[in-house]
Structure 1
Amino acid sequence: MKTEQKIKLFLVDDDAVFLKSLEVQFLNHADFEIETFSTGELCIRNLDKKPDVIVLDYHLDGIVKNAINGMQTLDKIKETNTGIPVIMLSSQDKIEVAISCMHHKAYDYVVKSETAFVRLQKVISNIFKFQKMEKELNWYMDRM
């Protein structure tokens, strides 16, 4: 996944061990500029850094009492910038949760598992393939 610039990736999870593991995997396997956040509030406060993709935990309920959860964070991200692709991440393997995330405009939903990193890589790769195709299509449409 090579581009002219590093992909700016925000990782948001209240599980410090999982968050660090994910960060290390991305740093070791791809060319990313990564920022990690343990709460949705911290992520939202840093949206001015213009992330290319956000990987966001569904719950976010483990560190700060009364912190906003992942769905509330997703809604606030989309209020700020609808164009940022947000991949929801959760240990819940329930179709209802995935559907709810998609209704809230998540790009995709990935279940936390031993294959989550591989799945995240694939989803992120697809995001940039889709964006490239969209730009090319717009370029062609502008010339007609």
Structure 2
Amino acid sequence: MANDSKRYLFLVDDEPIQNEMLKDYLNERFLYEIKVFDNGEDAMQSMHLNPEIVVLDYHLSSQHKDAKNGVEILKAMKDKHPETQIIVLSGQDKIDVAVDTMKYGAYDYVVKGESAFSRIENLINNASELHKMKVINKGQKNTITLLSTVIGLIILAAVYFLVIKPRM
């Protein structure tokens, strides 16, 4: 998460109406700070905010013909921010496209259509739970490490005071 403890969700789609409709839909259901981008390059520049989830359009070139496509942005995001869960959204209902995005680290692939928003909602719930479990797991690992260190120091102190010091 970002240093200011806000939880970010990015929407990256070159169709402004799609972005606004999805943003309104998700704002009614989640407490994320939602940032909207019409191209992947701008989203990449804001990745320092460490978004938990990115909903990324597969095609990103209708506004800017030289813009990187969704797969290129997906690869770059996962390379620099592997913990971010990326949901790819596309108008293409082709299994090879879905497999390709999953191969590069997408959390899931959603085909645009009448059930897309509710599917995205379910995926965000699942990705959010996964993120929460990872945070809890990291905290527990840190606690175990700290407790192990303290116990080790107590044992060393006991050995020193009960065995080594009396011999002196």
Instruction: Name the TM-score, length of structure 1 as normaliser.
Output: 0.88
Q: Kindly report structure 1 stretches of 4+ aligned residues shifted beyond 2 Å.
A: 130-140
**CA positional deviation for 1:6:** 5.5
**Percent identity for Structure 1 against Structure 2:** 37
C-alpha change, 1:131 and 1:51, in structure 2 (3 Å) is closer
Aligned to 1:93: 93
Does the CA-based 8 Å contact 1:6-1:31 persist in structure 2? Answer: no
Q: Deviations over 1:98-132 (max 9, x none)?
A: 10000011111111111111111111111122233
**CA positional deviation for 1:31:** 1.6
Aligned to 1:63: 63
Equivalences, count: 140
Q: Which 10-residue stretch deviates more, 33-42 or 131-140?
A: 131-140
Structure with bigger gyration radius: 2
Task: Give structure 1 stretches of 5+ with no counterpart.
Answer: none
C-alpha change, 1:50 and 1:134, in structure 2 (3 Å) is closer
More helix by share: 2
Write the mapping of 1:1-144 to structure 2, written as runs, cut at 5 A: 7-136=7-136, 139=140, 143=144
Please give the secondary structure, in 2, of the residue aligned with 1:113.
Answer: coil
Q: Deviations over 1:54-88 (max 9, x none)?
A: 00000111001211000000011112111111110
Instruction: Name the TM-score, length of structure 2 as normaliser.
Output: 0.76
